[in-house]
Amino acid sequence: MRTHVFYNLPESACYGCQACAQICPVGAIEMLNNREGFLYPKINSTKCIECNLCEKTCPTQENVVNPLFHTLPKDVQAAWNINFEDRLTSTSGGIFYVLGRKWIENGGIVYGVDFDDHLNVVHTRVNNIAGLQRLRGSKYVQSDITGILQQVKDDLKNGLKVLFSGTPCQVGGLRTFLKKDYENLVCVDLVCHGTPSPLIFKEHISFIQNKTNQKIIDYKFRGKEKTGWRAYIKYIYPDGKSEKKIWGNDFFAYSFYKSRFNRKSCFSCGFSRSERVGDITLSDFWNAEKYYKPLRLQRKYGFNLIMCNNQKGQNLLRKISSDIESITLPVDVAIKGDVRLRHSEPIPPERDSIFEEFYLHGYEWLTKNRCIRHSWRNKIIPIFIKNLIYEIKARI
């Protein structure tokens, strides 16, 4: 009898995309939290009818996932939203928001990631601009996608136009779950560094709340208003006041940067490659200014990489062309610029021991003993001076 999804799949390979759990015809698969706080499928062997649908749907299986990848485009775009406010409130250049707005204005539905009332990171469905605004900004935590794949399928079958955004493994899971392409579906995948543990993020929020004696009602991973693209973390309190921390001074953000709390599958991720599963791929466009110098002036407020991976992607990009500025560059520039378009992250040496230390000593102990050691330069040069130096260099 089966106890895990299928006998040859190690836990470390499972993306947690939930395609298996949501496709099982008899509801035999439950998603349960493991010790690190990530959801994994568990089969109830008394319910299972051995139909193998879970294995046939799982994007870890090469024969299942390989047909999903699109041919690499020759060119890509460095692009940003011409509405400055929208650009500022987004992570990179605010392209996701333009795509979503156009989609909703044309009567479509957008799926993306928001915080719920308890700051859990969840996939959600929106059909209006207020909802779309909540999806803006990267939440660097694995989102809970429970029930969403079936909801997307229902929308598609009801003839609604769906724009689905997520990590590549979530887009992959959706596409294997759907089994076929739908004319009325466009998928946006992000170039993905990995997703940290929801459990550790919860501990982080409790830690800050206990320290400040205030409830946090919203959280921004990449605030840009004050320091431009050299982003900071922002905790927002019920009275509307907020606190800002540079990444190096926020233990969770620093650990994300070091990939310490990522799901194990992120270190052997089959989606960390240049051929993509999304119709459109979005990310920051790293190092683009090396190849096209005028882009240095755009770095301060961020700009996107846009990869249109098929005709659907190109059609959508055409629809937003009057709302964005863009520069076309060869795809190699993007691939050279971001390691996640070539292969997955190496596992950091402390990845497993830090979870053990968390269980032994607690989160607060980690923040004191496993935090960043600032160099003297980081300590004494304020961020606005660094920005100023960058801007002067950009204009030379």
Of 4 and 273, which CB lies nearer to ligand FAD in the complex structure?
273
Cβ nearer to ligand SF4, comparing 89 with 92: 92
Query: Shortest CA distance to 328 belongs to which of 27, 142, 76, 69?
Result: 76
DSSP 285: -
Part of the chain binding ligand SF4 (CB under 6 A), chosen from 12-20, 95-103, 133-141, 235-243? 12-20
152 interface partner picked from ligand SF4, ligand FAD, none, CB below 5 to 8 A per type: none
**How are strands ordered across the β-sheet holding 162-166?**
121-126, 109-115, 162-166, 185-190, 280-284, 304-308, 75-81, 324-330
Give the nearest distance from C-beta 93 to ligand SF4 in angstroms: 21
Q: Is 141 in the site for ligand FAD (CB under 6 A)?
A: yes
Contacts with ligand FAD in 310-339 (CB under 6 A)? Answer: 338
Q: Does 28 bind ligand SF4 (CB under 6 A)?
A: yes
The radius of gyration of the chain from alpha carbons, rounded to an integer in Å, stands at: 21
Instruction: Confirm or reject binding of residue 276 to ligand FAD (CB under 6 A).
Output: no
Binding span for ligand SF4 by CB under 6 A among 25-33, 148-156, 284-292, 300-308: 25-33
Q: Hey, what are 208's tokens?
A: 């800050």
Q: What residues have CB less than 8 Å from 271, skipping those under 6 apart?
A: 167, 168, 169, 172, 189, 192, 277
Cβ pair 141, 121 in contact under 8 A = yes
Does position 389 interact with ligand SF4 (CB under 6 A)? The reply is no
Rounded least distance, CB 141 to ligand SF4, Å: 10
The verdict on 113 binding ligand FAD (CB under 6 A) reads yes
Query: What is the 3-class SS of 190-242, one letter each residue?
Result: ECCCCCECHHHHHHHHHHHHHHHCCCCCEEEEEECCCCCCCCEEEEECCCCCE
**Would you state the structure tokens that stand for residue 142, as one six-digit string?**
């694995």
Q: Is residue 156 a contact point for ligand SF4 (CB under 6 A)? A: no
15 binds ligand SF4 (CB under 6 A): yes
Q: Residue 303 interacts with ligand FAD (CB under 6 A)?
A: no
Residue 186: enclosing H or E segment and its boundaries?
strand 185-190
Q: Is 124 in the site for ligand FAD (CB under 6 A)?
A: no
Q: How far is the CB of 108 from ligand FAD (least distance, A)?
A: 14
CB of 284 closer than 8 Å to CB of 302 = yes
Among 18, 22, 60, 92, binds ligand FAD (CB under 6 A): 92
Question: Does the footprint of ligand SF4 cover residue 347 (CB under 6 A)?
Answer: no
**Nearest residue (CB) to ligand FAD, 109 versus 113:** 113
The length of the chain, given as a count of residues? 396
**Strand pairing category for 242-246 and 232-236:** antiparallel
344 touches ligand FAD by CB under 6 A: no
122 binds ligand FAD (CB under 6 A): no
For ligand SF4, the binding residue among 52, 158, 315, 375 (CB under 6 A) is 52
Burial 333-349 (b: 16+ CB within 10 A, else e): bbbebbebbeebbebbe
Cα–Cα dist 335/192, whole Å: 13
Q: Which does 12 bind (CB under 5 to 8 A by kind): ligand SF4, ligand FAD, none?
A: none
Beta carbon nearer to ligand SF4, 59 or 94: 59
Nearest CA to 173 out of 306, 321, 39, 8 is that of 39
* Residue 263 binds ligand SF4 (CB under 6 A): yes
Question: Toward ligand FAD, which CB reaches closer, 24 or 269?
Answer: 269
Q: Quote the least distance from Cβ 395 to ligand SF4, whole Å.
A: 36
* Residue 281 interacting with ligand FAD (CB under 6 A): no
Window of 25-33, 94-102, 232-240, 288-296 that interacts with ligand FAD by CB under 6 A: 94-102
CA-to-CA distance for 233 and 250, rounded, in angstroms?
A: 7
Taking CA atoms, 196 is separated from 118, 175, 221, in Å, by 17, 23, 13
Which residues of this chain interact with ligand SF4, rule CB under 6 A?
5, 9, 14-20, 24, 26, 28-29, 41, 43, 48-54, 57-60, 167-169, 173, 192, 194-195, 263, 265-266, 269, 271-272
Which residues of this chain interact with ligand FAD, rule CB under 6 A?
90-97, 112-113, 121, 135-141, 143, 165-167, 190-193, 195, 282-284, 304, 338, 340
